[in-house]
Structure 1
Amino acid sequence: MLSKNLLSEIKEKSDLLNSLKPLSPENQAKLDKKFRLEFNFNSNHLEGNTLTYGETELLLIFDQTEGTHDYREYQEMQAHDVALRMIQEEAAETERPLLENFIRDLNAKILVKPFWKDAITADGQDTRKQIIPGEYKKTPNSVRLSNGEIFSYSAPGDVQKEMAELVAWFNENNGTEDPVLLAALLHYRFVRIHPFDDGNGRTARLLMNYVFAKNNLPLVIIKSAAKKDYLAALNRADTGDLSTFVEYIGNQLLWSLDLSIKAAKGEDIDEDDDLDKELELLKQELNQVPNEFEQEKTYSDVANVMENSIIPLFLELNSKIDKIKDLFVKAECNIQISHVKPNGYHDQLFFTSDDFLFGSSFKAYEIQAAIINFNCTALKKTIRHKDINYTLQIDFDGYNYRISNKFKNEELIILPYKTFLSKHNIDSIVKVVVSYVIDEIKSATNLNI
């Protein structure tokens, strides 16, 4: 199912990489770290984990935590890292066949412990089910497609038989079929069964990379930024067009081969956005170090942060709400500041994006705090019109300003007054907010991917 051109390119680059092996210990360590972070970060982000790349590195490399995410998110990121080592160790046992118990162990590892989760029934009704890691599903799982149709995976009563058939098929074809084709089909056929109540996507990507590791090929990483293309290729496979998904996986392998070849040659393997990731991590580490030369804030410092950090963040959030406002009866984004008037009284002021069409100045205000309100009223596609709200709290401490989720008291970023939000910082915060809104819309409409 792979095109001749793609097959030829993969073989050419695989041969080149093999000719450059073994890599020096230093270059191998850099490559291993890069793949480890990219795979764990992206595979978990595809499923809604909100740790940033820098927080992922801080957790996996330095065993430290930053921010106030749900504890489960930290646990699952670390567990996924262990599962990655599991597939690499299993693949090294060249004579050992793939076993169902190993697949169940992978799912049990990444889900950590039992928990409850919202779900929908086969007829589209809301429900909740307890997720037991590593156990095959006992109730149906399905997804509501964008056109409103319910797409059901294999029935619970068929899972045992279909999983046994899948494992037998793989072991029969392993070593004779092209590894890219085998990896892609194992991924797709597993997802089509959806044998577990949760963690099927992550388990599928781990199994796919078990195949690549077994064939001495580098990890294939599905970037979370390309989620739309990934799901589109899977949807095409559901219509019988398996070649599109196989080609998609083959093209991701090319990226991994190119990266590995650069590392083998001792070249820089950082990507365009890696500098932003490194800066993010550096800031997180430096923010924990007191600076004896820092001066306590002035109202001018706060005004500069408002104009150069908070307003750009607000405008970016406002641009996102514009894209979904037709889904609601009313959708708006506003910013509220608390300030002290010249007479000493405290006052509240509200601003919309129109107030910043010609720039902004807060030099005249003694600002105490600010709030960005992201309000969507009455989701139209539900029987009971659902409101979706998210509030960012901005606190101005003595030496730093903080941006956090007001309702969860979840700190998103802390920076000194002389440091403004970078584009990467803004994009990361916006992603947290918009991901929450998307999840709420899916939950309200029973559209679970």
Structure 2
Amino acid sequence: MHEKDLPKEVPGPIGPTETRSGFSIPVADRVLRLPPYLFARINKLLYEKRRAGADVIDLGMGNPSDPPQDIVIEKLAAAARDPDNHGYTESRGILNLRREVASKYFKQFGVRLDPESEIIVCLGSKDGFSHLCLALLGPGDTAVVPAPSYPPHVYAVILAGASTISLDVTKPDEFLSRLAFVCQNLFPRPKVVVVNFPHNPTTTVVEADFYHELVRLAKRYSFLVISDLAYADVTFDGYRAPSLLAVPGGRDVGVELTTMSKGYNMAGWRVGFCCGNAEMVRALATVKTYYDYGMFRAIQVAAIVALRHTDAAVEAQAREYQRRRDVLCEGLERLGWPIVRPKATMFVWAKIPEPWASQMSSFDFAMKLLKEADVAVSPGGGFGAAGEGYLRLALVENEHRLRQAVRQIGRCLGQAQNQPPARVAGT
């Protein structure tokens, strides 16, 4: 899924308010269940520093900085000039786009999907996930979500009126054993299990055998699976992210969400897909029918061109992220940081080194880097208690800027860049 989790302008804490006239504005209980936005202090300082003229290197939000291919932009412009493309479209997405998604699934995963019943176009995969929670969950229901947590995985469930159980995903085998324990001992059992591999924020990856076991558990304990596969196009070192839908029985128990935000550099275009179990797709389509009139047709036409003609560019973009990963990780290793090099995603999940890890929270450490080094990062604590002690650094700047960020961090912390590397074996 895909990165709207760190908005740059954030409202303050929400609660019963009064207007200037003294009239009370009682908001819904579901909104009151949402906590204050945890990144607000960092984003406020980032805004203030940039307004004052500081050149802040922003590694906080996973917002792609590279543009889509020219052929895609040109098709968008041409389609926007066609007067037939400006009316309402069906909320499921135009059929030719759904057919192109089916073609991609077959090429990438060997999965044959029915464009009519097993694919729906979403206004970004975050939209798809949130509306799917409304379609599947309600008061009294429980969803298992990954921890550390991409915020919408938790709060879309809460907004649907359901409860969450967070399970650590950094060791996938233990996640499965804990999931089985929860299903055996909790009543009522979880209705939905959310998985997200490659994982945001920790970059944890799995092989296909993980999904084999997950499907077995789903059938045994009768839960539904929502797989967030947002980073399938951004993989490194020969690793290829598997699909839930490629596993026998995967479509019996779940759906998968994908996006064009990452590999295609179309984050602001908001193009995502939900594929898999026809009944779950139908439930999402029912909710979307009441919430939107579908995506601007010109964007859908351009997305078809992107899916049909830019595979090589997607692969090249993944190689670019891998080069950026190597630059950032090598720099932090020279500073003596313990680093696990990711096999996928556009992030590095870095353990905060000593002595700072023992002296301050991840939020305080992130604030220190922003105040003193002009480098913005995401504190691990912002992804829940399981993320405390870590930082998430996005690979959205070019190699030169990443090297500069490392130098500024080193000066801020008084670290020399000639220390022996502190490599940690990754998954």
Same fold (TM over 0.5): no
The higher-RCO structure (CA 8 Å, 6+ apart) is 2
Greater fraction helix: 1
> What TM-score comes out, normalization by structure 2 length?
0.25
- In our comparison, the structure showing a higher alpha carbon Rg is 1
